[in-house]
Amino acid sequence: MKNILIGILIAGILFVSFLYLDAKKMPSPQSYFVQSTHVFYKRLDRQYSHRTVLFIGDSLIQGLAVSEISKDAINFGIGTDTVGNVRARLSDYKSTSNTDCIFIGVGINDLIRGQSLASTLSEFSLLLASLSDHPRVIVGELLPVNSLSAKLKRIAGDISAFNLMLAEEIDKYDNVSLVKQYDIFLNDGNELSTIYHVGDGLHLNTSGNKLWIEHLKRQLPQHHCEVET
Dump pLDDT digits (tens) for 139-173. 999 999 999 999 999 999 999 999 999 999 999 99
The residue extents of the domains of the chain are: 47-220
Q: Report the alpha-carbon distance of residue 202 to residue 153 in Å, rounded.
A: 11
pTM of the entire structure? 0.87
CA distances from 61 to 16, 27, 57, 128, 162 (A): 41, 24, 6, 18, 19
Q: Which CATH number fits the domain 47-220, given the four candidates 3.90.950.20, 2.60.320.10, 3.30.70.20, 3.40.50.1110?
A: 3.40.50.1110
Which candidate, 96, 63, 93, places its Cα nearest to that of 78? 63
- The pLDDT tens digits of the residues spanning 28-64 come to 656 888 999 999 999 999 999 999 999 999 999 999 9
Contact 131, 174 (CB under 8 A): no
